[in-house]
Amino acid sequence: MGTERKTLSMATVSLPICFLLVTILSPLVFQSFAFDPENPTDRRILVILDDSSLKSSHSIFFQSLQSRGYNLEFKLADDRKISLQRYGHYLYDGVILFSPSADSIGDGSLKLDDILDFVDSGHDLILAANVNASNFIRNVASECGADFVEDTEAVVIDHTSFSVSEIDGDHSLIASDNFIKSAAILGKEKIQAPVLFRGIAHSVNAGSSLVLKALSASPAAYSANPNSMLSKPPALIGTSISLVSVLQARNNARVLISGSLDMFSDRFLRSSVQKIGTSLKYEKSGNEQYLMELSKWIFHERGHLKAINVKHHKFGESNEPSIYRINDELEYSVEIYEWSGTNWEPYVADDVQVEFYMMSPYVLKTLSNDKRGLYHTSFRVPDVYGVFQFKIEYQRLGYTSLSISKQIPVRPFKHDEYERFIPVAFPYYGASFSTMTAFFIFSVLYLYHK
């Protein structure tokens, strides 16, 4: 009996200690899976599927991610244990939503706001829809800047750019090569074969610089129900139809929105393709190369910039001052690197600018670079005193935006720092002394002249 009481008392004491250890260590464990700015590729991805069969039917796409170092965790859309965060820390760095027909995720445990908060916190998202797209999927896409057509039976149809391939189908099987022109997004190697697409159309806001069409339809395409006659003009036609869109948010989170789940499938990736009206036949579609390159950009293997070693000092000196004086000559420098998927490489561009800013830019200079990542310039502090900022706001298509600011006060000359005699004022000095001399002579002559 005494042994039992002793064991019970030890267990009672150890429970709070265990709970305290879990509370302290859990955030550290989950934080280890978080996005690492020094190694953006080492990431954990949650894959949400409509059906477990998608894991095998889309295996090439998933295996390509795993071969590049991603840890994929597969869950069905109706799994009630789905959660993106625990103890205030996100468990995943990216989400792949391959569940177009799901009205809810985890029977409501994962809400629309949870997905949006995930993106707002800087994480990435891949969303694929099809003709069975639910309101939940449509709302997620809409909040990310892509609006799917309202007609739930409409698909993209093209009578001039449909594909002759191993896949049976009508003119809704499209072969498109209208890629976004950006080496940062799709890589430097040209995608030779067209991409096979079968799905629904969506539109993006043409006035937004955040959402871009990564794959567009041809001018002859339109969105309609293939099983019924057209009774009114299609809602979307021509190049206004976006097949695949990408979003880079202001916090550098990246989102891919596709109107086709089939385009990720092994069948589409392995199929041969020939656009109607052309003699060129490709043994393999461009889907695999296109999706691999696009996924590299989505998950920050390419186009991810960082700036380090921001420095400024007076010309000829090396130490950074706490204050500048008007008309001082100064030098400014910063190092910018791009993540290549395995390491950081120097970023080379000729459009990086720095502003010397107070309410508005007083100085705007384009930075020179040494091809090794170092950007630098020199200029004179304007003849205005106040609190200024060195400011870089760099935004370029396909690259993460850089926002760098460093505050520095500028003072006027002190009373003992002015020159005693200013050369340009010699005429005024001469006028003053000549006036005094003339007055003296006039006084003498006036007083003593009889």
Query: Following DSSP, what letter does each residue of 324-389 receive, concatenated?
Result: EETT-EEEEEEEEEEE-SSSEEE---S--EEEEEESEEEEEEEPEE-SSSEEEEEEEPPS--EEEE
What pLDDT score does 165 carry? 60
348: tokens are 């080379």
Query: Which pLDDT value is given to residue 6?
Result: 43
Q: Tell me 194's DSSP state.
A: P
DSSP state of 146: E
CATH of 33-298, one of 3.40.50.880, 3.40.50.1110, 1.10.3720.10, 3.40.50.2300: 3.40.50.880
Residue 444, pLDDT score: 87
In sequence order, the 6+-apart residues with CB closer than 8 A to the CB of 192 are 282, 286
Separation between Cα atoms, residue 224 and residue 211, nearest integer Å: 24
pLDDT digits (tens, 9 = 90+) for 168-202: 557 888 888 899 999 999 998 999 899 999 999 99
pLDDT for 228 equals: 75
Digit-by-digit pLDDT tens for the chain (450 residues) are 444 444 434 444 444 444 343 344 444 343 434 446 677 765 899 999 988 999 999 999 999 999 988 999 999 998 888 888 888 888 999 999 999 988 888 877 788 999 999 999 989 999 999 998 999 999 999 999 999 998 888 899 887 776 666 565 578 888 888 999 999 999 989 998 999 999 999 999 877 888 999 999 988 888 888 777 776 778 788 889 999 999 999 988 999 999 999 999 999 999 888 777 666 788 899 999 999 999 999 999 999 999 999 999 999 888 999 999 999 999 999 999 998 888 899 999 999 999 999 988 999 999 999 989 999 999 999 999 999 999 999 999 999 999 999 999 999 988 777 777 778 888 888 899 899 999 999 888 888 876
- Nearest by Cα to 116 from 289, 249, 298: 249
Predicted confidence at residue 69, as pLDDT, reads: 87
Quick one: which of 287, 138, 119, 294 has its CA closest to 203? 138
Instruction: Give pLDDT, residue 437.
Output: 93
The CB density around residue 395, as the number of other CB atoms within 10 Å, is 12
Residue 169: what pLDDT? 57
CA gap 287, 357 in Å, rounded = 46
- Short-list 261, 277, 156, 260, CA closest to 217: 156
Three-state secondary-structure class, residue 393: strand
Query: Which pLDDT score is estimated for 12?
Result: 42
Fold of 304-411: Immunoglobulin-like (2.60.40)
Tell me how far apart the alpha carbons of residues 363 and 382 are, in angstroms, rounded to a whole number: 8
